[in-house]
Amino acid sequence: MTTQTRKVEVPQGWEAFAWKWMRYSGVLIFILAWIHVLIQDILVGVYNIDINYVAGRWHGGFWRVYDFLLLFFAFSHGMNGTRQVLADYIHGAGARRALNWILLIIWAVVVVIGTVAIFGFTPPAA
């Protein structure tokens, strides 16, 4: 018995990138979110988190970058999923293009606001 193999040409482009992004960002979100839950909810405890805790945590750059990555990957993943679901219901090429632009603008605004909140926050002096 012989085994046949066939070559499949995988299309490259925006949709292929978006498909891969969902997989990679999903894994990263899973890891980042569970580390966040472990630290904030289990080790520290939600009742012990206040502005002073956040200020102390954000005095260094590591936790700011960590929180930014969590925001970036989670919101990108969610907006890409929203785009894919809405594309099932919007069939016109022009309407899909408009949808993609609208979602991109919403994504950019929210990420910029989140970035300003994370990196622009000045912790109060202790």
| Whole-number Cα distances in Å, 47 to 41, 44, 121, 124 | 9, 8, 22, 20
Q: How far apart are CA 11 and CA 16, in angstroms?
A: 7
Is the confidence at residue 11, as pLDDT, over 80?
no
Position 38 scores a pLDDT of 92
| Whole-number Cα distances in Å, 66 to 23, 28, 87 | 20, 11, 31
Query: Which of 5-9, 44-48, 91-95, 111-115 is least confident?
Result: 5-9
Q: How far apart are CA 77 and CA 24, in angstroms?
A: 9
What single-letter amino acid sits at 87? A
48-90 residue pLDDT tens: 888 888 788 888 789 899 999 999 999 999 999 999 999 899 9
Q: CB-based contacts of 21: which residues, under 8 Å, 6+ apart?
A: 76, 77, 80
pTM, entire model: 0.77
| Whole-number Cα distances in Å, 95 to 33, 37, 87 | 34, 39, 9
Domain residue spans of the chain: 29-120
Q: CB-based contacts of 121: which residues, under 8 Å, 6+ apart?
A: 58
